[in-house]
Structure 1
Amino acid sequence: MKPIRRRRLKPSRPVRVAASEQVEATPRRRARGIYILPNAFTTASLFCGFYAIVQAMNDNFVYAAIAVFFAMVLDSLDGRVARMTNTQSAFGEQYDSLSDMVSFGAAPALIMYEWTLRGLGKWGWLAAFVYCAGAALRLARFNTNIGVVDKRYFQGLPSPAAAALVVGLVWIATDLRETRWITATRADLAWVAWVFTVYAGLTMVSNVPFYSFKDINLKKSVPFFALLGVVMFFVLVSSDPPLVLFSLFVLYGLSGYAMWAWRRWRARTAPVPPAQEREPQEPR
């Protein structure tokens, strides 16, 4: 018998892949850098909250209240800047929440406690804690409900508006006392401050809807009278900033309950649609 010859297999040639295809095949690593521009606004807002705490400890309550309002302006800009420059990141979202907790949670609670709630003893620091805990719960619920709730309305009073409602009372009471419009001292307004603090803290964790103004398109053309209205608004605010701002945030703090009551009244008075008459089925 002839020996069986085994054929040697030729080694397969390596398949050449274009350089562009090799780049697309390899998964791209996500950049771990931090965007400077939006986080700079967040850092400035955090600085204003810390500055407000320092000024409240030094009994400079007007400066503390103004610093919180500056933090509100900066907080409203960081998100818009991130969306306009396409620099959103998970780090920015978490950093913004931590900054809000300091500027609109801890700072207003400490300002109110140092201003007049200290004199109420246990009831004073309990009210401050209710506000601080309400701000923390509000921010945690907001982060977990992104994309679930209607963007046109906030679920509960937003923390910047709650902070403005609380420190606005400090600012207007100090300003009116300096101009001798009122003679009430901080001790006389202790229970008024207690009501404002508890109201803001509980409203932040409520389910009351508050208009978010997020559906306003700033890139859309508007009539000339709209620009004139913006100018008149700035003139009104500059005429008496503490009185105008405090009045606006008081109205906004009550608008959610007014909208909630209107919705319930509308649901009760809405006519019930008649039940659709079903055609009799033939017996099988």
Structure 2
Amino acid sequence: MSDKPAGETGLPDGHVPGPRRAGIPLRAVIPNAVTVLALCFGLTGVRFAIAGEWEKAVGAIIVAAVLDGIDGRVARLLKANTRFGAELDSLSDVTAFGVAPALIVYLWSLQYLPGIGWVIALAHAVTCALRLARFNAQIDAADQPHKRAGYLTGIPAPIAAALTLSPLFLTFWLEPVILADLRVRYTLVAIVVVTVSFLMASSLPTYSWGSIRLRASQRLPALVGVGLFAGALFSAPWLTLTLLAAAYAASVPFAIRSYARLKRREAAAVTPA
């Protein structure tokens, strides 16, 4: 019992304080709302693809990727990381970056590939689901050598979606001059989708933000590059996205070599003289 008289508690005499109000704080809902928005934009991309509005379809997937990159940071900023949010994020990623891009490229070109067009489209959706299932299964694992070194295992789902849609970037940039022939179009898309599906499901190390290190002298050039990239993205979006997708694809062999070099240095450090 409190030593204070009833009048000093701020409550009337004989009043017993009620239980604290239960519920979820609003800050815990905001990251989940961003994730749901990403899911909705991914499905909206399918709706635009059904209507034949290809630029809007691809734009919706890009917006979903931006939102997907924000939700985790918002959760950490608000200290609202939850297991529910992690599961919701994975379900959103499967839909927005697995199912939606597969349907878009199928409607755009793979439906004209006799026999296996739908199977190739399915490969993207299935490997995306497998990648995310593997990620969820290892989320609490202590031994994750790629993550410990700052690398990712395989390519992440939003980047895989962008690479799968890169033939559409190329078409929007150059107009349908190069890919006007349906056979050229679905052949290119099939090669890209199969390659991206393999990289998603693979155990190859790929770069993450944590694996990139800049020297002090590179800070200002990097900031200038970010500004130029933003300007290029607004003035020539499809050219910029095409070059960005090509640059990321070219970085994969360098990431593999960089990780192998890092492992050799670690092995040499623990080897007794």
**What TM-score range do you get, normalising by the shorter chain?**
0.7 to 0.9
Name the residue aligned to 2:197. 201
Q: 1:162, 1:253 within 8 Å by CA — same for their partners in 2? A: no
Q: Using a 3 Å threshold, how does the CA distance of structure 1 residues 206 and 29 change in structure 2: closer, same or farther?
A: farther
Amino acid of the residue matched to residue 256 of structure 2?
W
Does the Cα contact within 8 Å between 2:169 and 2:241 map onto a contact in 1?
no
Q: Aligned-pair distance for 1:124?
A: 0.7
Q: Percent identity?
A: 33
Cα displacement (A) at 1:154:
1.0
Within 2, Cα distance between the matches of 1:165 and 1:94?
Answer: 24
Match of 2:244 among 243, 248, 253: 248
- C-alpha distance 30-130 of structure 1, shift in aligned 2 (>3 A): farther
What residue number does 1:42 align with?
35
CA distance 1:43–1:139, change in 2 (3 Å): same
Contact 1:69 1:164 survives alignment (8 Å): yes
Shift of 1:214: 3.9
Aligned-residue offset at 1:33: 6.2
Gap change, CA 1:183 and 1:54, over 3 Å in 2: closer
Contact 1:209–1:260 under 8 Å retained in 2: yes
- How big is each residue's C-alpha offset from its partner over 1:8-38, in whole Å with a ceiling of 9 and x where there is no partner? xxxxxxxx699xxxxxxxxx99955673311
1:101-120 deviation line (CA, Å, top 9, x unaligned) = 11100001001111110111
Cα deviation per residue 1:222-268 (whole Å; 9 max; x = unaligned)?
95554333212212323321122122122213422332245557878
- Higher-helix-fraction structure: 2
Q: Given the alignment, which residue of 160, 163, 166 partners 1:162?
A: 160
- Give the TM-score normalised by the residue count of structure 1: 0.76
What is residue 116 of structure 1 aligned with on the other side? 109
| CA pair 59-126 structure 1, distance change in 2 beyond 3 A | same
1:137-148 paired onto structure 2 within 5 Å: 137-148=130-141
Name the residue aligned to 1:172: 170
* Residues 208 and 257 in structure 1, CA contact (< 8 A), matched pair in contact too: no
- Report the counterpart of residue 233 of structure 2 in structure 1: 237
CA contact (8 A) 1:65 1:168 kept: no
Gaps of 5+ in 1: 1-15, 19-27, 278-284
Q: Where does residue 211 of structure 1 map in the other structure? A: 207
Q: CA RMSD in A?
A: 3.3
Q: Distance in 2 between matches of 1:213 and 1:229?
A: 16
Answer yes or no: is the 8 Å Cα contact 1:168–1:242 preserved in 2.
no
Equivalent residue in structure 2 for 1:129, among 122, 125, 150: 122
Uncovered stretches (5+) of structure 2, i.e. residues with no partner: 4-19
What per-residue deviation string (whole Å, max 9, x for no partner) do you get for residues 55-83 of structure 1? Answer: 11111111111111111100000000010
1:78 match: 71
Decide whether the 8 Å contact of 1:41 with 1:75 is kept in 2.
yes
Q: Which has the higher mean CA deviation after the structures are superposed, 223-232 or 57-66? A: 223-232
Q: 1:30 to 1:132 in 2, by over 3 A?
A: farther
**Residues 266 and 31 (structure 1), Cα distance of their counterparts in 2 relative to 1, 3 Å cut:** closer
SS at match of 2:181: coil
Aligned residue number for residue 89 of structure 2: 96
Instruction: Output the TM-score relative to the length of structure 2.
Output: 0.78
Larger Rg computed on CA atoms: 1
Q: Could you say if the C-alpha distance between residues 276 and 89 of structure 1 is closer, same or farther in structure 2, counting changes exceeding 3 Å?
A: closer
Alignment-mate amino acid for residue 173 of structure 1? T
The DSSP-based 3-state class of the residue aligned with 2:209 is coil
Q: What is the CA-CA distance between 1:157 and the residue it aligns to?
A: 0.8
